[in-house]
């Protein structure tokens, strides 16, 4: 199965995942710290109304462990501010897509050595992806797992083929993000950098 590489202009790309040897604390959606987000840790769902850790969450909405949330650079009604190292984004509380809408996640590489994360959606997920990206060109599509931001991608065009691919800075980053999306177990102790099982297609 070949996943067509369709780029979204990256707004934020996470360099590392804390799987087998964490490096930085995870940035959870709803936190106020202005640090570069990572993907370690879990528990706080995306879309927490308060931006203060430990604050009451009266309007909190339960979000699946893996999901896609729409976001934008400007505040608006019903949006939650998430502060990042290079500024704030304002995220919707309800996911537009979840892990249930995915059929495949795979690390990809181009002939030029560029690394990507490729996601293929179910038939229903593909229709939703088409609608969401058509109606929200210019906004952000935020991929979260276990309450942490994996990537925030600028929607530059409608995605009509049921696939989404975004660039990352290394093959290891791609493998780690894919493992997080799939829910794979972290690499065993003593085997740093272990490569998760992959169904990535060979690039033609």
Picking from 119, 174, 147, 187, the residue whose alpha carbon sits closest to that of residue 26 is 147
Which residues make Cβ contacts (< 8 Å) with residue 92, sequence separation at least 6?
47, 69, 70, 71, 78, 79, 80
Which residues make Cβ contacts (< 8 Å) with residue 185, sequence separation at least 6?
none
State residue 171's pLDDT score: 95
CATH number of 9-182: 3.30.70.2740, 3.40.190.80, 3.30.1360.200, 3.40.605.10? 3.30.1360.200
Measure CA 69 to chain center: 9
State residue 4's pLDDT score: 39
94-130: burial string, b at 16+ Cβ within 10 Å, e else: ebbbebebbebbbbbeeeeeebbbbbbbbeebbebbb
Split the chain (204 residues) into runs of 10 and give each run's mean pLDDT. Answer: 41 29 35 32 32 40 74 95 89 95 95 95 98 97 92 94 94 95 66 37 35
Yes or no: say if 174 and 113 are a contact pair by the CB < 8 Å rule.
Answer: no
- Token pair of 48 as six digits: 């927490």
Q: Which helix (H) or strand (E) holds 70?
A: strand 66-72
For the entire predicted model, the pTM comes to 0.62
State residue 197's pLDDT score: 35
CA pair distance 91, 197, nearest whole angstrom = 32
- Give the domain ranges of the chain: 9-182
């Amino acid at each position: 199965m070949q996943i067509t590489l369709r780029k979204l202009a990256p707004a934020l790309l996470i360099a590392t995942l804390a799987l087998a040897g964490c490096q930085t604390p995870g940035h959870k959606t709803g936190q106020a710290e202005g640090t570069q987000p990572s993907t370690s840790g879990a528990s706080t769902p995306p879309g927490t109304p308060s931006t203060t850790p430990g604050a009451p969450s009266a309007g909190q909405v339960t979000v699946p462990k893996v999901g896609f949330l729409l976001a934008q650079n400007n505040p608006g009604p019903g949006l939650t501010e998430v502060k990042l190292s290079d500024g704030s984004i304002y995220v919707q509380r309800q996911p537009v897509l979840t892990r249930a809408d995915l059929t495949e996640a795979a690390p990809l590489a181009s002939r030029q050595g560029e690394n990507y994360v490729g996601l293929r959606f179910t038939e229903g997920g593909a229709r939703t992806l088409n609608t969401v990206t058509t109606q929200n060109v210019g906004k952000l599509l935020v991929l979260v797992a276990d309450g942490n931001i994996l990537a925030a991608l600028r929607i530059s065009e409608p995605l009509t083929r049921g696939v989404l691919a975004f660039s990352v800075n290394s093959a290891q980053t791609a493998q780690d993000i894919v493992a997080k999306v799939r829910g794979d177990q972290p690499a065993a102790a003593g085997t740093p950098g272990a490569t998760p099982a992959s169904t990535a297609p060979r690039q033609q």
